[in-house]
Structure 1
Amino acid sequence: MVKGKVYLVGAGPGDPKLITIRGMEAIQKADVIVYDRLASPRLLKHRKPGAELIFVGKLPDKHMLRQEEINQLLVDLALQGKVVTRLKGGDPSVFGRVGEEAELLADHGVTFEIIPGITSSIAVPAYAGIPVTHRDFTSSVAIVTGHEYPNKTYTALNWEHLAKAVGTTVFLMGVANLDHICHELMHWGKSPDTPVALVRWGTWTEQATITGTLADIAEKVRVANFQSPAVIIVGEVVKLREKLAWIEKKPLFGRRVLVTRARSQASELVNLIDELGGEAVEFPVIRLQPPSDSAAQQALDAALDKLHTFDWIVLTSVNGVEFFWRRLRERGIDVRRMANARLAAVGPKTAEALAERGLIADLVPAKFEAEGVYEAIRSELMPGQSVLLATADRARDYLPAKLRELGMAVTEVDVYENVLALEDGEEIVALLQNQGIHIITFTSSSTVTNLFAALRQLGVEDPLHLLQGVEIACIGPKTADTARQLGLPVTYLAKEATVASLADSLS
């Protein structure tokens, strides 16, 4: 029997970018991922195709599986020859019960690795502006479980030591026992005025913090209905929060932003949202692919065969450049056949895509839309010149019509097409139903119409009703017009039709 292998991985405190490189590698190679609720679901998107997902999460009032059952599950999967990644929130060795899992694996001769993660006991306070040590306050920190297990083999907590000898005490899983924690610390000599902070869902979009003292924090938590999961920090370092609460100063802190553009294009916008403190959730309602219609394919190839005859070649997007060059390579056509043509690029990113291929655009319009191209190019044209427009399958008719009015011989070809995509759609619908999406970004009219189409295909009878209350951000006026026509009020409109400008509008 070929035995598999088990990776016992710390996923970090919640922010998916806080996982280690080694931990990410374990996710990517796993045949099965066994995960809990404190591991970010965004990490699961990095799994390989076909990988099985098994949720064993523990809620405050419900356990999907008992720990003993989880231990045995890991053994059983490994003995089937599978590579298993056990994904745990925080660090698996800090109250993550990794020792119990590893012991049973070792008893059965299963190879395993323990991959540390960033523990929430340090990361969550840091995200709330509370360093657990500081030379002006304390050089000692204790990490304590706030949940007492009736079958534990170790002795009860030494409350006197925690109260008198430790500068900062961090309690994990202790919200339900907060009254007891405060009482014991004060009973053993900790001043009632000692600062206390609770940070709920630290490093997640839902992060929230409440502060007080040992004397009043329990009542404040009750009044605010402040629920688990939360980390409790007790000590003078809590005073630093007012000055050091860095992430809460970011403009998109606490906001989840839906990115609807194609996955191949989304990374720049996702990173910009992250820099602004928001959480970007990708729902690529568009998938880009070469033209599927045989007539469109033939028209493109016919145009490429006579590249040497065009006076102008107009490329309207980065995608247009990429698919144009892809087809050139597939056909074995030398780019030097374009030598007679001048190049127009719609927008600086399109011009950059050309420059990466060794070509400098002769014209880049100030306005990155069809009207801007026309205004910029009209004075450069002479009647009878031949113009190749390399566009998407849903491109507007404005530019070719205006060029023909000037007496140009216009050849319009589709170099790629937009098709509807539904990947991860059920998750997005659930987030929208629970008001978990705060902003939706649209980077083209087709992303707007495709979102409505995708939601309908996913069983949403009234997409407009589902999107009520969500703020809408559009990359340009044409996209905004499409959104408004479908009943969506536009909250943010980019000053320029660029991803960077769209992100700036959100801040």
Structure 2
Amino acid sequence: MARSSSSNSLHGRRIIVTRAREQASELSAKLTALGAEVLELPLIRVSKHISKEALADVLLELGSYDWIVFTSANGVRYFFEEFLRIFDDIRSLGLLRFACVGDATAKGIRELHLKVECQPKVATGEALADALIETGSLDNAKVVVITGNLNRDVLVTKLEGAHAIVDQLQVYQTERVDLTDNPAAAEFRTQGADAVLFASSSAVDSFAAQQAALTLQKGAKPPLFGSIGPLTSESLTKAGLEIGFVAKEPNLDSLVQALVKKLGARESRQ
């Protein structure tokens, strides 16, 4: 019989969380509450990285932009840390309209009591560009896209193709964590896990690039690989890693629900 989604639905299950250390606690807490044994294996490190000159240029022109676009919750966090350091009134944003990808990004904006006017159902930069184009507001509009160092070009390319004037402001960088001497990686090699959860393409890329530090030893349990959304799934496929399950919605709750359902179904067949 399959496990229910009760407080013990992941009892006895060993789950690997691959988010950056500063972002892992929320997902780990959700899993622990369901009885899982959680091993945090941060594959990436995210940190603020902003050119003071580029920031000054954008803030000086802030009142002239029509849209401000965020591609991640990290972008919201680091942009507003700097904005609120310089300005003491949220009204200094002027009449900017907000667009974003993903529920976590939208949540970060709404927590500042700001309205998200454009968020596609599919959490990709391409879908966001299409949604913005559909508003009919881009012809000669000024748009600032808040990015990290690994953002893809498709969003900006499509916006420019719709005759928008696009500036980019990088506010953070994502780096690979070296797992060579990492104790969590050693534990994973020897014991394996029921599942490894991926919430970003950069975590998948880091995992795939460090197979020497992550190859399971004899007797270790081979895990299922879980994906939070389409871009992460695409990266898993490109890396040659079989996708075990995918969240229905691109958020942590949906990822956990997909995990519980998959492991329950797997157990019922055994």
Query: TM-score band (shorter)?
Result: 0.7 to 0.9
Tell me, which stretches of 5 or more residues in structure 1 are unaligned? Answer: 1-245
What is aligned with 1:502? 255
Give 1:413's match in structure 2, choosing from 162, 169, 177.
Answer: 169
Residue 266 of structure 1 aligns with which residue? 24
2:138 is paired with a residue whose SS is: coil
Aligned to 2:193: 437
Match of 2:154 among 391, 398, 417: 398
Equivalents in 2 of 1:271, 1:431: separation in Å? 20
> Residue 348 of structure 1: CA displacement?
3.0
- Tell me if 1:289 matches 2:47: yes
2:124: which partner in 1?
Answer: 369
Cα–Cα, structure 1 residues 382 and 488, in superposed 2: closer, same or farther, change >3 Å? closer
What is the aligned counterpart of 1:341 among 96, 116, 120?
96
Secondary structure of 2:241's counterpart equals coil
Q: Matches of 1:289 and 1:307 in 2, distance apart?
A: 24
| Secondary structure of the corresponding residue to residue 336 of structure 1 | helix
Q: Report the count of equivalent residues.
A: 254
Q: Return the offset for 1:249.
A: 8.6
Q: How many angstroms apart in 2 are the aligned matches of 1:420 and 1:263?
A: 12
Q: 1:503 to 1:247 in 2, by over 3 A?
A: closer
Q: Specify the alignment match of 1:351 in structure 2.
A: 106
8 Å contact kept, 2:101–2:120: yes
- TM-score norm. by structure 2 comes to 0.84
Gap change, CA 1:334 and 1:481, over 3 Å in 2: same
Q: Which AA in structure 2 matches 1:322?
A: R
The 3-state SS of whatever aligns with 2:22 is helix
Q: Aligned partners of 1:355 and 1:324: how far apart in 2?
A: 14
CA contact (8 A) 2:138 2:159 kept: no
1:411 Cα deviation from its structure 2 partner: 0.8
3-state SS, counterpart of residue 434 of structure 1: helix
Partner of 2:138: 382
| Helix, strand or coil at the partner of 1:447 | helix
Kept in 1, the 8 Å contact 2:191–2:221? The answer is no
Cα displacement (A) at 1:332: 4.1
- The equivalent position to 2:236 in structure 1, one of 479, 483, 487, is 483
Superposed CA offset, 1:388-443 (max 9, x none): 11122101111111111100001122111112234895322322222342211111
Sort the Cα spacing of 1:250 and 1:332 in 2 relative to 1 into closer, same or farther, 3 A: same
Does residue 472 of the first structure (1) align with residue 221 of the second (2)?
Answer: no
CA change 1:442–1:396 in 2 (3 A) is same
**Is this contact kept in 2: 1:247–1:277, CA < 8 A?**
no
Q: Equivalents in 1 of 2:157, 2:73: separation in Å?
A: 23
Distance 1:333 1:414 in 2: 22
State the shift of 1:260 in Å. 0.8
Question: What letter is aligned with 1:341?
Answer: L
Letter in 2 for 1:404: E
SS of 1:472's equivalent? strand
User: Which secondary structure state, in structure 1, belongs to the residue aligned with residue 45 of structure 2?
Assistant: strand
Aligned-partner residue type, residue 371 of structure 1: E
Give the 3-state SS of the residue equivalent to 2:118 in structure 1.
Answer: coil
In the alignment, is the contact (CA less than 8 A) between 1:260 and 1:283 conserved in 2? Answer: yes
Report the alpha carbon displacement of residue 343 of structure 1 after superposing the two structures with TM: 0.9
5+ unaligned residues in a row in structure 2: which ranges?
261-270
In angstroms, what is the RMSD of aligned CA positions? Answer: 2.7
**What letter is aligned with 2:35?**
G
Q: CA deviation at 1:299?
A: 2.3
Q: Equivalents in 1 of 2:229, 2:58: separation in Å? A: 30
> Residue 103 of structure 2 contacts residue 250 of structure 2 at CA under 8 Å; is this kept in 1?
no
Is contact 1:314-1:388 (8 Å) kept? yes
Letter of the 1:285 partner, please give it.
L
Distance 1:477 1:364, change over 3 A: closer
Quick one: distance in 2 between partners of 1:299 and 1:476?
31
Give yes or no for contact 1:263–1:287 (8 Å, CA) kept in 2: yes
Alignment of 1:45-56 (within 5 A): none
Report if aligned partners of 1:314, 1:390 keep a CA contact under 8 Å in 2.
Answer: yes
Q: Deviations over 1:215-259 (max 9, x none)?
A: xxxxxxxxxxxxxxxxxxxxxxxxxxxxxxx99993322221111
Q: Which residue of 2 aligns with 1:306?
A: 61
Query: What whole-Å deviation, never above 9, does each CA across 1:136-182 have from its counterpart, x for those lacking one?
Result: xxxxxxxxxxxxxxxxxxxxxxxxxxxxxxxxxxxxxxxxxxxxxxx
CA contact under 8 A between 1:284 and 1:422: conserved in structure 2? no
